[in-house]
Structure 1
Amino acid sequence: MQLTGHITPESLMSLEAYSKWRKAHKPEVIAHRKLRSVQLGEHINLQFESEMTIRYQIQEMLRIEKIFEEEGINGEIEAYAPLVPDGGNWKATMLIEYTDINERKRELARLIGVEDRLFIEVEGHARVYAIADEDLDRENDVKTSAVHFVRFELTPHMRASVKAGAAVKLGCDHTHYPAHMQIPLETLASLAGDLK
């Protein structure tokens, strides 16, 4: 899987080529995803996306759905490519995870707006709150969704601080889900690689 900085139909592998590549490289992608996964409290997981995770997602969708026509390929790219960070931000898939279905239903009702209360705090800088669900609204008056897509925009000074080794806190100040934690150093090193 070649990272090119821009996902196009021409930069994706054919279904046959991807099938061969997948057998040899799936463990690397899983390790990369695991490194970029941050658990915030007991029930929120943020999967920070990268070009590799999104390319893999697109290739997996093409494989599973057996999509090989241009229109279908372009549709998958349009759906997922906006989740690739652009050098000035971090983008993540936010998962609200409750195993018990009744507890999940109750908590999703209590957590309306939680996606807007997520923040990143780079050491020495003000908090940056998430910009959530730019593709479509994922909550209603009754409950929030268990999946959200969030973006954290970092100023040039914040990006320079991260690259220089500043600590970064991930947090949430929603009334019903107060939580914060330092992003682990290995994860932060991977995330710093997304920044220009």
Structure 2
Amino acid sequence: MAITKESLMTLEAYAKIRKTSTAEFIAHRRLRTAHLGEHISIQFEDERTIRRQIQEMLHIEKIFDEEGIQGEIDAYAALVPDGTNWKATLLIEYPDPHERKRELARLIGVEDRVFVEVEGHDRVYAIADEDLDRENDEKTSAVHFVRFEFGKAARAAVRAGAGVKLGCDHTHYPALMTIGPEVLASLAGDLVLAPSPSPSGRGLG
């Protein structure tokens, strides 16, 4: 279901269900999150997570005018996977601020070295931060937006139950993990064999 102004809840309606729906949403988010090593989390997005994000932004910022609502939709809707890919928010997490500053400097480019490996197929490296510049010569950002684009054969393999690994081959953050069956089952639903043509980029900015 496409995210449109008409399909979103009003501020009043969302406020009424916001607290009672939080636990269920957290469970859904957990089902779509993979932890790569100790300090990187990959939160795979879908229509439900992005719809919630938009509703939260409208709630927090008290946005109710049509132009403002459309602006939030335009900012986030491109993060919904479109059938050939997985789209995700990559979080680099170090609780201690001094350690975080040091590690973000060491991990420049890490977002480009994260990959998905479908059993029997080549690695698919993340396409990171389209339309955005989230690092500089001194450090990378703690948050990145990434897209993993799959060919038809790899999509078919995932839907048929092939194993999938998530990894990183950055010099300072080598990591590899197998995506668990429950998370993988959720992610497999994002992939279709013959998707309708649509832009794959994020379109943020």
Q: Which has the higher helix share?
A: 1
After the TM superposition, which residues 1-196 of structure 1 pair with which residues of structure 2 at under 5 Å, given as runs? 4=1, 6-196=2-192
Q: Aligned partners of 2:31, 2:44: CA distance in 1, in Å?
A: 9
Give percent identity, aligned residues only.
Answer: 75
The alignment partner of 2:6 has SS state of helix
One-letter amino acid of the structure 2 residue matched with residue 28 of structure 1? E
After TM superposition, give the deviation of residue 140 of structure 1 in Å: 0.4
Deviations 1:27-84 (A, max 9, x none): 2111000111111001000000010000000001101111000111011111111111
Q: Aligned partners of 2:88, 2:152: CA distance in 1, in Å?
A: 20
After TM superposition, give the deviation of residue 20 of structure 1 in Å: 2.3
Q: Aligned pairs, how many?
A: 192
The alignment partner of 2:146 has SS state of strand
Q: Aligned partners of 2:84, 2:21: CA distance in 1, in Å?
A: 28
Structure 1 unaligned spans of 5+: none
Deviations 1:137-190 (A, max 9, x none): 100000000000000001111111001000000000000000010001100000
The alignment partner of 2:120 has SS state of coil
After TM superposition, give the deviation of residue 21 of structure 1 in Å: 2.9
Q: Aligned partners of 2:37, 2:67: CA distance in 1, in Å?
A: 41
The alignment partner of 2:21 has SS state of helix
Q: Which gives a bigger RCO, structure 1 or 2 (Cα 8 Å, sep 6+)? A: 2
Q: Which runs of 4+ in 1 moved over 3 A?
A: none
Range with greater deviation from structure 2 (17-26 or 174-183): 17-26
Structure 2 unaligned spans of 5+: 193-205
RMSD (Å) for aligned C-alpha atoms: 0.8
After TM superposition, give the deviation of residue 19 of structure 1 in Å: 1.8
